Amino acid sequence: MLKTKWSRVVRMYEPVRILAAAGLAWALVGCVVNPVTGEREVGFISVAQQISMGERNYVPAQQMQGGLYQVDPGVTEYVRAVGMRLAAVSGVDLPYEFVVLNNSVPNAWAMPGGKLAINRGLLTELGSEAELAAVLGHEIVHAAGRHGAKAVERGVLSQVALLGVAIGTHRSEYSQALVGGAALAAGLVNQRYGRDAEREADYYGTRYLAAAGYDPMAAVTLQETFVRLSEGRSTSWLEGLFASHPPSTERVANNRRLVETLRAEGFKGGNLGVEPYTAALRQLREDADAYAAADEARKALAARDYAAARTAAQKAIRLQNREAAFHGLLGDIERGERRFDRAIAAYDAAIARDDGYFAYYLGRGLARNERGARTGARDDFDRSVALLPTAIAFQQLGRLAEADGNVERALELYQAAAQSESPAGVAARTRALELDLPRNPARYLQAAVDRDARGRLLLTVANGTPVAVEDVLVRIETLDDQGQRQRGERRLRRIEPGASRTVVVLNDAARLVDARAAVAAARPATAP
């Protein structure tokens, strides 16, 4: 059977490439010391690499989780002080950072390298500084104990294993639209720890709690509260802390036994810190009705009930005018109703209160673009991407570049957006294909020649794209047993998406010793 030389070359080198990648990953594996437990374990991500990983992904992770809580900076300072108090007794020297996120979902998370965050939605559910310390101590162990790093290591090794199999056998509101490094940040935030990691974080986190002068019983009462809430199946809790840190009666019992052990070791007393916690959260608790109204507005907006959404958002603004998120939400509502001037004014108000959150720039850019203010829209999309790269912003920038006649730049931007499987990413991928296919048809259409059982030379062209193509020009070259080369062309009118066309090129191919084919021209079909 005749095959193209090009396809033989690809098949020959593919196993070599896969084996090389697998060998490189395994060569990196070694032993490291867990700085929390002191035990040696398999791993290859160094402390410096963990710190770098956290630093690169910390801001994107904050952005995708609602941005920073800004109304009362004292809350963040309070959380930071409690966190640093626990970090000081952990014995693990990392550049710890603690932030409060403007998110109603009760959650907290840690990244490699000591980057931690807690949502305001969790803060308002806690009852004391000791319970806050229990949460932060737990997350400090996840960061310091290499739990996130080990998850990344397992992912790399799993990819190597999949490559080995391949040798023998041949996915917040914008979460699906994340591209580039933001996708890794999302993975680090949303990872599920195993039972051993949770036990380790409970054990050492509770010891940190006691060493910092807090009552370790807070770790018990906290887990008891989580178990009760999980049995009630509270939606917000299931979306937040329970998803990544599943509570259980086993964890409650383990924490209770540890407290008894600490007392047997001579630990006495410890503070709960109810009064300082109440004082620190005064503003947040006063604003509870405002945030509840905003949450209702978001639900109404998702259901496209714009009137109800506007009423709820305006209530939130009346209750707490300094919260940028409420003004940004109103901008989303106005834009949903295509009242673009009002939307721009609302986004302006949001940015005046918080100029560091991507969604306000993205929303204003979309509204400005609809109003024909292309320069301002481009600036907003650029600012949005700098804070959090999303397919939506890249797609819009691609459209603007295309409108300016800069096809090369448009292709780059569409290809960046196409990393996402979101509607914007899919649309960008399709548009990039429509622009690039006429220039590089062989990149998208595969041509092959072969001899059938009747001795005929057949040409098959496969269209693996999601669009129909037409005016397909294929160049064919043959070599016979006398050393004579012949060159010719065949045109195919149309090939449907995901389909292939086969035509007879030569009725008698008995004397051919080689043949090859390549697509030289094609374009997206303009009509069915």
pLDDT of 9? 26
Residue 28 lies in a domain: no
Nearest to 133 by CA among 267, 280, 265, 264: 280
pLDDT of 52? 87
Residue 199 lies in a domain: yes
Residue 424 lies in a domain: no
User: Where in the sequence is the domain holding 456, given as residue range(s)?
Assistant: 441-524
> pLDDT means per 10 residues in the chain (528 residues)?
31 34 47 69 76 88 93 97 96 94 91 93 94 94 78 54 31 59 66 75 90 93 83 66 72 88 86 96 97 96 97 98 98 97 98 97 97 96 95 96 95 92 91 93 95 94 94 96 93 95 94 95 86
Domain boundary among 229, 256, 278: 278
Helical ranges in 28-128 per DSSP H = 47-64, 73-90, 120-123
| Count of the separate structural domains present in the chain | 2
Domain boundary among 243, 278, 313: 278
Tokens 């397909």 map to which residue?
472
Residue 108 lies in a domain: yes
pLDDT of 252? 85
What is the C-alpha separation between 396 and 414, in angstroms, rounded? 9
User: How many other CB atoms are there within 10 angstroms of residue 450's CB atom?
Assistant: 17
CATH (domain of 465): 2.60.40.3230
What is the C-alpha separation between 297 and 348, in angstroms, rounded? 19
The DSSP code sequence of 134-162 is HHHHHHHHHHHTTHHHHHHHHHHHHHHHH
Contact criterion met (CB below 8 Å) for 29 and 45: no
514 Cβ neighbours under 8 A, 6+ residues apart: 2, 5, 478, 479
Residue 330 lies in a domain: no
Domain boundary among 233, 257, 278: 278
Residues linked to residue 451 through DSSP beta bridges, in sequence order: 457
Helix (H) or strand (E) holding 475: strand 469-480
Helix (H) or strand (E) holding 102: none
CA 61 to chain CA mean position, Å: 8
Tokens 């904050």 map to which residue?
62
pLDDT of 200? 85
The CA angle 273-275-276, to the nearest 5 degrees, is 70
Residue 386 lies in a domain: no
Residue 182 lies in a domain: yes
What is the C-alpha separation between 390 and 101, in angstroms, rounded? 20
Copy the structure tokens of residue 59: 């801001």
Nearest to 48 by CA among 115, 94, 92, 98: 94
Q: What is the pTM of this model?
A: 0.82
305 Cβ neighbours under 8 A, 6+ residues apart: none
Nearest to 430 by CA among 411, 404, 443, 402: 411
User: How many other CB atoms are there within 10 angstroms of residue 91's CB atom?
Assistant: 13
Residue 21 lies in a domain: no
β-pairing verdict for 485-495 and 469-480: antiparallel
